[in-house]
Amino acid sequence: MTKRKGTEKFGQRRLEVRNAMIKDIPGIAHLVRRVYEDMPAYTHGEIRGQINNFKEGCFVALLDDEVVGYCATMQLAEALAFQPHDWDEITGNGYGSRHDPTGDWLYGYEMCVDPKVRGVRIGRRLYEERRALAEEKDLTGIVFAGRMPNYRRFRRRVDGPEDYLDKVVEGKLHDPVLRFQLANGFEPERIMDGYLPEDKASMANAVMMVWRNPYVERDQPVKKRLPRGVEAVRVATCQLQARQVADYDEFMRAVQYFVDVASDYESDFIVFPELFTLMLLSFEEKELSPVEAIERLSEYTPRLRNDISEMAMRYNINIIAGSHPTRMEDGDIHNVAYICLRDGAVHAQEKIHPTPNERYWWNIKGGDKVEVIQTDCGPIGVQICYDSEFPELSRRLADEGARIIFVPFCTDSRQGYLRVRYCGQARAIENQCFVVLSGNVGNLPNVANMDIQYAQSCILTPCDFPFARDGIAAEASENVETLTISDINLADLSWARAEGTVRNLADRRFDLYRIEWDEDGKHPGKPRPRREPLGPKHPGGG
């Protein structure tokens, strides 16, 4: 434990229990590793999803500013909460993505307390927060699957897990977790076999524990309704014309013009196209080879990142700065989107899947991480062009809580554009989120990969009653430089996910399939071969 500093003032609060915040993620992850030494720890992405999907239901306890307790819950319908299930299935693989704001039960799926903290009743305080939340929301009760960590130790003295539970309830055997839950007013419902295979101490068993809200009397389960609220966000997508520029400053003036206009319209976001910085090659004395061009562009990275960040703060707008080739610390070139927020924070999202042309002509390597970015308008995701054609990435972002996915793209043909467009629409439907596309138009002689461009930037929606009839909130004219702006209502997504005609996120069959991510990089993928692609040296986007 962190020792108290001698300079602390009298009256300063040492213990705090509150809703978990994104800034608590490292402390929560460290706590979970300490508590569950024999089980896989949460990734930061999973904790981020738990908080983003239902912040009201996630609580932390801090002692002297150190996270010493954490619990996570979600609302579920009674039929789902009480049917046979395992931990992975009910939690959406740990992201808490099956939270249903119309559900009538509070389902607890994580509770951990630092074993070094004694005498402060951290666990009891967290349970009280859960109970207060259930009462505040007028829920029928709380249900969770509790561990039985002494079962393996006593398994030879009992006739199966049911007998073990009976003996613990009768006081003939001691189980610290079950005894604590019983003492806090929870009643055992039944044994759940195979609930958490990683829990060796419980031999994968758990006990369904139930607390019924004494202030609610119901003979039949009820389904709560989600109010149709308003959570407006204004989004601008810039369809940028490739143009000859005299120097870096002229390029930045072109970018600044559209940022200024979007800001005048009080937009919250503006997104630029993929590889929009290729215009910086137009004032080179000679046409550079693809390798030389990438090297030259990468030299602008620090200056570009700094200038766009300053622009975001000055114009009070979040800027998704297309993408820009960047040399990484290991020497590889990656295609990177820089997300500059209006509070001064700068984030980077690398392109995960370079196209065959990018790999062959430019030797661009793919990144290995995709995660949501927290903004003042909620969590967002960014996918660069070709990445939007791999549904696993968008699903990961949706699980972490993203409600808007921005897709900067660069395509030379209508076929390439339509691959991105159709996949963007599919991602909006299957993840019940907004998808914003932004592409380049025009041509730029003597710059490789900018010979011709095709784009029709757009703002796409799920296809359901609260949204535009054809799933298009707004779209630009084809191949014309313009700024397209639309208001979107994030609250409509919450309604659609809970009460829509279809509920793609909630209706997934977690008992049949799931996506496993290599979070620690211990099993890096094999290098992709640089096979020569068919056709000219175009980006081949989409």
Is the pLDDT confidence value at 146 over 80? yes
Active site residue 351: yes
State pTM to two decimals.
0.92
Give the ranges where 155-300 is alpha helix by DSSP (H): 161-169, 176-183, 248-264, 290-298
Residue-level pLDDT at 451: 78
Catalytic residue among 274, 350, 389, 400: 274
Residue-level pLDDT at 532: 57
CATH number, span 71-212: 3.40.630.30
User: Quick one: pLDDT band at residue 3, thresholds 50, 70, 90?
Assistant: very low
Residue-level pLDDT at 71: 97
Average pLDDT over residues 282-286: 88
Token pair recorded at residue 363: 């030797």
**Distance of CA 176 to CAs 181, 191, 474, Å?**
9, 17, 58
Q: Which value, to the nearest 10 degrees, does the dihedral of the CA atoms of residues 479, 278, 392, 475 take?
A: -20
Catalytic residue among 112, 340, 385, 410: 385
Amino acid at 142: I
Average pLDDT over residues 495-523: 84
Is the pLDDT confidence value at 293 over 50? yes
Half-sphere exposure of 56 (CA within 13 A, CB side): 14
Distance CA 319, CA 341 (A): 6
Q: What is the crossing angle of helices 44-53 and 25-35, to 10°?
A: 120
Is the pLDDT confidence value at 93 over 50? yes
Average pLDDT over residues 234-241: 98
Token pair recorded at residue 28: 């929560």
CA 409 to chain centre: 21
**Distance of CA 234 to CAs 155, 411, 422, 485, 488, Å?**
60, 26, 23, 7, 6
Average pLDDT over residues 77-82: 96
Domain ranges within the chain, ordered by starting residue: 71-212, 232-499
Tens digit of pLDDT for each residue in 512-537? Answer: 988 888 775 444 555 555 555 555 55
Residue-level pLDDT at 526: 52
Average pLDDT over residues 43-62: 97
Distance CA 304, CA 248 (A): 9
Tens digit of pLDDT for each residue in 323-368? Answer: 999 999 999 999 999 999 999 999 999 999 999 989 988 889 999 9
CATH topology of domain 232-499: Nitrilase/N-carbamoyl-D-aminoacid amidohydrolase (3.60.110)
Residue-level pLDDT at 38: 81
Average pLDDT over residues 189-215: 96
Instruction: Tell me the average pLDDT of the chain.
Output: 92
Name which of 85-94, 480-489, 511-520 the model is least confident about.
511-520
Residue-level pLDDT at 5: 47
Distance CA 490, CA 348 (A): 24
Catalytic residue among 78, 110, 340, 351: 351
Is the pLDDT confidence value at 282 over 80? yes
Nearest one of 344, 337, 336, 349 to 318, comparing CA atoms: 344
User: Quick one: pLDDT band at residue 222, thresholds 50, 70, 90?
Assistant: confident
Residue-level pLDDT at 40: 83
Distance CA 137, CA 75 (A): 10
Task: Please state, as a whole number, how many other Cβ atoms lie within 10 Å of the Cβ of residue 128.
Answer: 14
How many residues are present in the chain?
542
Tens digit of pLDDT for each residue in 387-413? Answer: 999 999 999 999 999 999 999 999 999
Nearest one of 303, 255, 314, 262 to 279, comparing CA atoms: 255
Percent of the chain with pLDDT over 70: 93
Contact in structure between 60 and 20 (CB atoms under 8 Å): yes
Residue-level pLDDT at 137: 95
